[in-house]
Amino acid sequence: MNLMMEVLFFGFVVLTMTGALLAVRAKILMHGVLGLAVSLLGVAGLYLYLGSPFLTLMQVLIYVGAICVVLVFGIMVGYTPNEVAEKVPMGRNALLGLLASGSAAFFLMVMVLGRTHWVPAAHRVGDFSIEHVGESLLLTWCLAFEMISVVLLIAIVGAIILARGGREEGSQ
C-alpha cells in the first residue's frame, strides 16, 4: 500500500515536471497551454498527498478548467495562424533565462533549503476537513474573502471593457 502511494506520488511529480518543461519549451503556443494543463493536473494530485481533496477539486476546476480555457480562447481570438507558432527562440534570451532561473534556484536551495531547520508547530488546532476550512473562511478570513470577490468583480468588468469590440474596429 505504501509502495503504491509512493509510486503514484512520483507519477504526479513526473507529470508536474514534464508539463512545466513542455509549457516553457513549446514552440507552438497551444502545446504550451497543454503542458500547463498537465503540470497543473500533477500539482492537483500532489494536493491530495498534502491532505486536501477539496483543493484538488478546486485546482482542477479553476486552473485546468477555467484558466487553460481562457488561454486557449486568447490564442484563438488574439493570434493569426502564422503567429501561433513562435519563431525560433533567440539564443540570448534562452541563455539569460537559464542564468536567471539557475541563480534563483541556487540561492534558494543553498541559502534557504540547505540552512533552515524547519520547526513544526507545537500543537495544532482544527483539522483538514472542509468544514473547518469553510468555518475559518467565513469567520476569521471573512474580510479577505469579501475583498477577493470585489477584486474578481472588478477584474471581470475591466476585462469586458478592455476587450470590447471586434478585431477590425480598432485597426485603422
Partner 1 sequence: MMFHANLNTYLMLALFLLMTGIYGMIRHKTFIGMLISTELVLNGAGLNFMAFNKFLAPDPAVGQIFTLFIMGIAAAEAAIAISFILAVYRKFSTGDPQGVTDLKG
Site for partner 1 in 59-78 (CB under 8 A): 59, 62-63, 66-67, 70-71, 73-75, 77-78
Site for partner 1 in 118-147 (CB under 8 A): 118-128, 132-133, 135-137, 141, 144
Q: What's the grid cell of residue 76?
A: 484563438
Question: Under a CB-based contact definition with an 8 Å cutoff, are residues 95 and 56 in contact?
Answer: no
Question: Distances in Å between the alpha carbon of 162 and those of 17, 76, 92?
Answer: 34, 17, 33
Minimum CB–partner distance for residue 37 and partner 1 (Å):
10
Site for partner 1 in 143-172 (CB under 8 A): 144, 148, 151-152, 155-156, 158-160, 162-163, 165, 167, 169-171
Residues 16-35, one symbol each (x = binds partner 1 by CB under 8 A, - = not), give xx--xx-xx----x--xx-x
Among 50, 110, 111, 146, binds partner 1 (CB under 8 A): 50
Question: Under a CB-based contact definition with an 8 Å cutoff, are residues 39 and 19 in contact?
Answer: yes
CA dist 40 and 46 (Å) reads: 10
The answer to whether residue 111 forms part of the interface with partner 1 (CB under 8 A) is no
Site for partner 1 in 80-109 (CB under 8 A): 83, 86-87, 89-90, 93-94, 96-98, 100-102, 104-105, 108-109
Minimum CB–partner distance for residue 161 and partner 1 (Å):
8
Residue with cell 485546482: 59
Total chain residues near partner 1 (CB under 8 A) = 93
Q: Where are the alpha helices (DSSP H) in 50-119?
A: 53-58, 68-78, 81-84, 91-107
CA dist 108 and 115 (Å) reads: 10
Question: Under a CB-based contact definition with an 8 Å cutoff, are residues 59 and 44 in contact?
Answer: yes
The answer to whether residue 110 forms part of the interface with partner 1 (CB under 8 A) is no
Q: What's the grid cell of residue 141?
A: 478570513
